[in-house]
Chain A
Amino acid sequence: MIAETGAFALILALVLSLAQVVLSVAGRWRRASVLAGAGAGAALAAFACVAVAFAALMHAFVTSDFSVANVTANSHTEKPMLYKVAGTWGSHEGSMLLWCLALTGFGAAVAGFRRGLPPGLKAVTVATQGAIGTVFLAYTVLASNPFQRLAQIPIEGRSLNPLLQDPALAFHPPALYAGYVGMSVVFSLAVGALVEGRADAAWARWVRPWTLMAWSLLTVGITLGAFWAYYELGWGGWWFWDPVENASFMPWLIATALLHSAIVTEKRGALAGWTVFLALAAFTFSMLGAFLVRSGVLTSVHAFAVDPTRGVLLLMILGATAGAGFALFAWRAPALSPGGVFAPVSRESALVLNNILLAAATVTVLLGTLYPLIREAATGEAISVGPPFFNLTFTPLMAALLILLPAGPLLAWKRADALGVAQRLWVAALIAAACGLLAFAVVSPRKALASAGLGLGAWLILGALVELAERTRAFRGSAAETWRRLTGLPRGAWGMTLAHAGLGIFVLGACFETGWKAEAAETLVIGGHLNVGAYELTLDAIQGVDGPNFDAERAVISARKAGALICAPRPERRFYPAGGQTTSEVAICTLGASHLYVVLGERRPGEVWLVRAYWNPWALLIFLGPGVMALGGLISLSDRRLRLAVGRRAAAA
């Protein structure tokens, strides 16, 4: 009964989304606030209905209702409760429902803001949001219904892939989806700008908080995914340039570019057309991601629920939505005002360069992901594009961006003083160069590129601090004045400082880990030793473990440095009888910012076990950095200036 309620609520949500479109369009056409208000009401009701459907599906998972096909395929009575709940969005159908929940949720949020957006822009935005919702809800109801019942009810379910039974992965999809779908609001606002013919400072100010929110959530989602890959896949890698990783990375790159170009549009009224273009592109790439993961056109470690028919449907949705958006852009963008002019050395120029490099990076990732398909379709030859390609193209583009980054926030709008900026940054540049040289001289083995990377990371962090010092007149005014300025800084300023410094932290971690990680593998008897980095690992014992839904072998290992016991890793090798899979549960000792990473391999003939160990120096920073960046985004989001009511005041003026 509850499952039927869910199915019914989903169909009702589809109808309400359609009503949302019709009423909002009518409201805009007739300039009738009652009709537009009814459209907004429909948006709220659609969200409520999808929430009911989502709750119904979650109920089926929590109670292990195996009469629902989706629960049978993805759940099991013995699965821990967290993964029963997470199973709701662990399958193709459930994840589409989560997507629709986020989509209608954001639609309701836009509709629910009573003040803020001018009525015309709001009506068009709510209508566009409703149209996107209608398309995806129709897809979910017609092609991917999660509530389908089974005629013959099985006693036990087939369980969720054990690799996915992991806390990081339980929360990875909600964060990622909220980020992906958050871009839909930006898309709708862009359509609104095109229809209304205005993409001015006030419009850019409405775009920024939505972009910031979606960007922060995407950052969290991608980082959780990378962290999951790092400790679950068992070889210590955290980014593989896998198509599915790329699919989530492209919207992030575009959102990053959009965050920066929207600043130019807000402050200087320039780049309006480009900002609208990026706003359309961000959600297009989000939809492309949803399509790539589900269609089966690309092979990937992460792809799930691969189904070509559904893939074609998703491709049609992608083509229709993005096609309509960009056709509107081609038609209406020339009407947008060209905006202010600026000198070659200015904040505007710096932000345009940022956008050029980020756009080039996105194109690189896009081509690297799709080129094998294009080439195969065109010539029939199969090629592979893997990490070596991205290291040769993406990495230099990013390096150029990071070298330029600290100068950007110090440049004045319109026309800046290059010499003055150089004077403010030369100390930071010297210290950063010294850090790089020191790493080259001290850290063994000697590595030039990794040392340069460390210098770059230091340059970013120091650059962020210099910018903070400039704002607070530190070392130039009195301490009291500096303190007054520091406490009076807007949150947006703190957000930027944190985001840029977080990027620096990430670069430090990524370069140190890639450059100086050490690995070792040996077959060990009980009492055998293995050396990795400065550590000596001893296999003390192997225990049998009886888990809730798995059986495991657990290695009791002691790690010593110069004879002193440092930590006791307990890696496991788990067998899940429900699906017949074996997984390895990595043990990680966090020592400062570094990781000692131990994996238990298979048992070899004789009482011998394969043990692999990695010394991943500064690996923690790889995940901490993006965390700081996302925190910066959220702090910025709480800035008074970015709240919608303030935007209205700016528009009224």
Chain B
Amino acid sequence: MRKLLAILAAVFCIAAASDPAERLADPAQEARARALFSEVRCLVCQNESIDDSQAELASDLRRLVRDQIKAGKSDDQVKAYLTDRYGEFVLLKPSFSWGNAALWGAPFLVVGLGVWLLARNLRAPRPSSELSEEEAARLADLADDDQT
């Protein structure tokens, strides 16, 4: 979602926030470059993208990406170029590979497991709609109102 927003944002604010001296002449190419920047790590910085970082290396990487785009490379080609040179470490979005299966799969696994446990619990004997005597007594004692 952020990627999409970033692309759109970059398209519509034309003037990129990065240094005007670095900008590409073609606004469409510049927008693509900006979208890519937010996915590329500034290698010497502390967990910043090259879009945010003011470090010299980030500026070098930005120039590299802009040069590639100017040369007519696609986004994937630019990313491949970067990973060939710097390894997967340079990309802030980990690839969908087997090595990262646990990373991408875990959120869905937890949701699946939780829903399965809930469903199993629900299949236990159906509750009567009335409260039992003990429950009614406890509720009366606990809840003098219907606050959550």
Give residues in A with beta carbon < 8 Å to B.
201, 205, 235, 237, 240, 242-243, 263, 266-267, 269, 298-301, 303, 340-344, 347, 349, 352-353, 355-357, 359-361, 363-364, 367-368, 371, 375, 379, 381-389, 391-395, 397, 409, 414-415, 445, 447, 449-450, 471, 490, 492-493, 496, 514-523, 610, 612, 614, 639, 641, 650, 653
B28 to chain A, nearest CB (A): 15
Given contacts A267-B143, A363-B107, A384-B41, whether A391 and B88 have CB atoms under 8 Å apart is: no
Residue positions of B touching A, CB distance < 8 A: 1-5, 8-9, 11-13, 15-21, 38-39, 41, 46-49, 52, 87-94, 99-100, 102-104, 106-108, 110-111, 114-115, 118, 121-122, 124-127, 129, 131, 135, 138-139, 141-148
Question: Cβ of A514 and Cβ of B41 under 8 Å apart?
Answer: no
Would B142 and A266 count as touching, CB distance under 8 A?
yes
Cβ contact within 8 Å between A383 and B125: no
Determine if A653 and B20 form an interchain contact, defined as CB atoms under 8 angstroms apart: no
In the complex, the chain A residue whose C-beta lies closest to that of B15 is A520
Contacts of B129 in A (CB 8 A): 414-415
Closest to A205 in B: B142
Are B48 and A360 in contact (CB-based, < 8 A)?
no
CB-based nearest B residue for A235? B52
Give the Cβ gap from B60 to chain A, nearest Cβ, in Å: 17
Bound-complex Cα distance A490 to B129 (A)? 27
Question: In the complex the two chains form, what is the Cα distance from A445 to B13 in whole Å?
Answer: 10
Given contact pairs A341-B124, A363-B107, A367-B102, A382 touches B88 in the complex (Cβ within 8 A): yes
Cross-chain contact A201 with B92 (CB below 8 angstroms): no
| Shortest Cβ gap from A585 to chain B (Å) | 15
Residue of A nearest to B43 (CB): A384
CB <8 Å contact, A299 and B46: yes
Q: Which residues of A contact B138 (CB under 8 A)?
A: 201, 269
Q: A523–B20 Cα gap in the complex (Å)?
A: 7
In angstroms, Cα B1 to Cα A258, docked, is: 29
Q: Tell which of A353, A388, A518 touches B3, judged by Cβ atoms closer than 8 Å.
A: A388
Question: Known contacts A356-B115, A357-B111, A493-B148; is A392 also within 8 Å of B1 by CB?
Answer: yes
Give min CB distance, B136 to chain A, whole Å: 11
B8 in contact with A445 (CB, 8 Å): yes
Residues of A within 8 A of B91 (CB): 383-384
CA distance A340 to B104 in the complex (A): 35
Nearest CB of chain A from residue B58's CB, rounded to whole Å: 12
Q: Is the CB of B118 within 8 A of A353?
A: yes
Beyond A235-B52, A242-B47, A492-B148, 20 additional contacts (C-beta under 8 Å) are A269-B135, A299-B46, A352-B118, A353-B118, A360-B107, A360-B110, A364-B107, A367-B106, A382-B87, A383-B88, A384-B88, A384-B91, A385-B103, A388-B38, A389-B93, A392-B93, A450-B5, A518-B9, A610-B19, A653-B141
